[in-house]
Structure 1
Amino acid sequence: MDTNQDPQAAGTAPIEIRPMAEERMDDFATVVNPSRRQKHCWCLSHRIGAAEIRERGAGDRFAAMRSLSTEPIAPGVIAYRAGEPVGWCSIAPRSRIPLLEKSKLIRPVDDLEAWSITCMVVRSGYRRQGVNREMVQGAVQYARDLGAPAVEANPVDPAGRMDLTMAFVGTRKMFEQAGFEVVGVSDAQASRMPRLIMRKLL
Structure 2
Amino acid sequence: MSAEVRPAVVLADVRTLVGPKRPDASVCWCLSYRIPSKVNKELVGPARGEYVARLLQQGPLGVLAYDDGEPVGWAAVAPRADTSFARSRKIPRVDDLPVWSLWCIRVRPGHRGKGLSHTLIRGAVEFARERGAPAVEAYPLDNQGARVDLTMAYAGLRPNFEAAGFRYVTDTSSVLSGHPRVLMRYDLA
Other-structure match for 2:5: 17
Q: Tell me by how many angstroms 1:36 deviates.
A: 3.6
* 2:63 equivalent in structure 1: 77
Change (3 A) 1:53 1:175: closer
Between 130-139 and 32-41, the greater mean CA deviation after superposition: 32-41
Shift of residue 75 of structure 1?
1.6
| Number of equivalenced pairs | 186
The one-letter amino acid of 1:92's match is: A
1:129 to 99, 106, 114: 114
Query: 1:1-202 alignment to 2 at 5 Å?
Result: 12=1, 14-21=2-9, 24-33=10-19, 35-37=21-23, 38-49=25-36, 60-72=47-59, 74-97=60-83, 99-158=84-143, 159-202=145-188
Question: SS of the counterpart of 1:88?
Answer: strand
Deviations 1:27-78 (A, max 9, x none): 1111223514431111111112476579999x71101111111214x22111
Query: Aligned-pair RMSD on alpha carbons?
Result: 2.3
Amino acid at match of 1:18: R
Contact 1:54 1:60 in 2 (8 A): no
List structure 1 runs of 4+ shifted beyond 3 angstroms.
49-57
More displaced stretch, 42-51 vs 113-122: 42-51
Instruction: State the alpha-carbon separation in 1 of the partners of residues 42 and 139 from structure 2.
Output: 30
Question: Aligned partner of 2:118: which letter?
Answer: R
Moved more, 155-164 or 76-85: 155-164
Structure 2 gaps, min length 5: none
Structure 1: segments with no counterpart, 5+ residues? 1-11
User: What is the distance in 2 between the residues matched to 1:34 and 1:40?
Assistant: 6
Deviations 1:159-192 (A, max 9, x none): 2322212110111110011100000011101122
TM-score normalised over the length of structure 1: 0.85
Q: In structure 1, the residue corresponding to 2:114 is in which secondary structure?
A: coil
TM-score calculated relative to the size of structure 2: 0.90
Change (3 A) 1:154 1:55: closer
The structure whose Rg is larger is 1
